[in-house]
Amino acid sequence: MSTILIAEARFYPHLNDMLLEGARAAIEAAGHKHETLTVPGALELPGAIALAARSGRFCAFVALGVVIRGETYHFEAVSNESARGLMDLTLQGFAIGNGILTVENEEQARVRADPRLGNKGGGAAEAALSLFQLREKYAP
């Protein structure tokens, strides 16, 4: 049984709770253990995952968070740079499921986060598990 790290940017706790519920359920259904690490915002997720990856304790990672468009350019910077950071780590061979919601408003986030509706937390966990399996299959 492998351990998966769920790294969450806990800026919107009520939305993150739903993302976490979906991710944990998917990981447990696949027969794996999980740990959760919390950081302040989505920009910190790639760095936190990179640091945790150095421990060698985790087979895969799930990044969870919510970024809601505001009135400034900050939304684009956070959305783009967190996605870029996660993609950079994925291309280095880390199995990461990106469950950072980038939405226009809280209602869009709620629908996507809710495990009974969009279940993006569960989807991100399933993506991480899929990449983990691919790495196991093709790693030298």
Q: Please check if 71 is assigned to a binding site.
A: yes
Instruction: Verify whether residue 34 is a known catalytic residue.
Output: no
Judge whether 23 and 126 are in contact, CB under 8 Å.
Answer: no
Q: Please check if 43 is assigned to a binding site.
A: yes
Q: Please check if 103 is assigned to a binding site.
A: no
- Beta strands across the sheet bearing 96-103: 33-39, 3-9, 60-68, 96-103
Q: Please check if 42 is assigned to a binding site.
A: yes
| Beta strands per DSSP E along the chain | 3-9, 33-39, 60-68, 96-103
Q: Please check if 15 is assigned to a binding site.
A: no
CA 32 to chain centre: 16
Q: Which of 14, 32, 34, 74 does the annotation list as catalytic? A: 74
What tokens appear for 101 in the block?
A: 């919601």
Binding residues for (2S)-2-hydroxy-3-oxobutyl phosphate, as ranges, are 71-72, 112
Supply the residues annotated as catalytic.
74
Binding residues for 5-amino-6-(D-ribitylamino)uracil, as ranges, are 11, 42-44, 66-68, 98
Binding residues, as ranges, are 11, 42-44, 66-68, 71-72, 98, 112
